[in-house]
Amino acid sequence: MSEHDLWQGVLYVHLLAMAFFVGGQLVFGIAVVPVLRGDPDRERMRAIGRRFGYGSLIALGLLIVTGWALASHYDRFGSSTLQWKLALVGLVVTLTLLHLRWPKMHALQAAILLASLVIVWLGLELAG
Ligand code: HEM
């Protein structure tokens, strides 16, 4: 395996985790919550939310580890685009912690989705 393949693999994992992290939020908001909102069996929604939450946490962890590796390898920490992206990743982590504390505050979910979409835009800017 060449060094090029290795870094392509790291970027591949970064993008797969991005797909899960952002796609999961969209599917959860568009399909799962509206359908299960009125379900009398509250445990079903809780169980799905828990699994979705763990999956998103793993995806976010992978994004940070692979993103850090890419930024070090390509020497990008001086880039203001990356610095904005990191600030927004910090915001997403903070909002997620607040969401765990106050799960019924829907504005938090909307803010997490919005910040995630901006992060994807900044990621595209970074990759050029
Ligand atoms: C929620 C978290 C994140 C999301 C959704 C995300 C998303 C993305 C996306 C969509 C790209 C574009 C890739 C391409 O077009 O080839 C990208 C690239 C990149 N990301 Fe992230 N990212 C996240 C976190 C991070 C973190 C924490 C770092 C650094 C510490 C980082 C560093 C990078 C770098 C350096 C690139 C450019 C790689 C290249 O030049 O090929 N990312 N990211």
pLDDT at 97: 95
Ligand 1, pocket-test mutation among 11, 14, 22, most atoms within 8 A of CB: 14
Amino acid at 56: S
- Of ligand 1's atoms, which has the minimum distance to the CA of residue 68? 30
pLDDT digits (tens, 9 = 90+) for 81-117: 999 999 999 999 999 999 999 988 999 999 999 999 9
The count of structural domains within the chain is 1
Which pTM value belongs to this model? 0.94
pLDDT band at residue 22 using 50, 70 and 90 as cut-offs: very high
According to DSSP, residue 28 is labeled I
Residue nearest (by alpha carbon) to ligand 1 atom 30? 68
* Distance between first and last Cα of the chain: 25
**Helix 42-73, helix 80-101: angle, nearest 10:** 160
Domain that holds residue 11: 3-127
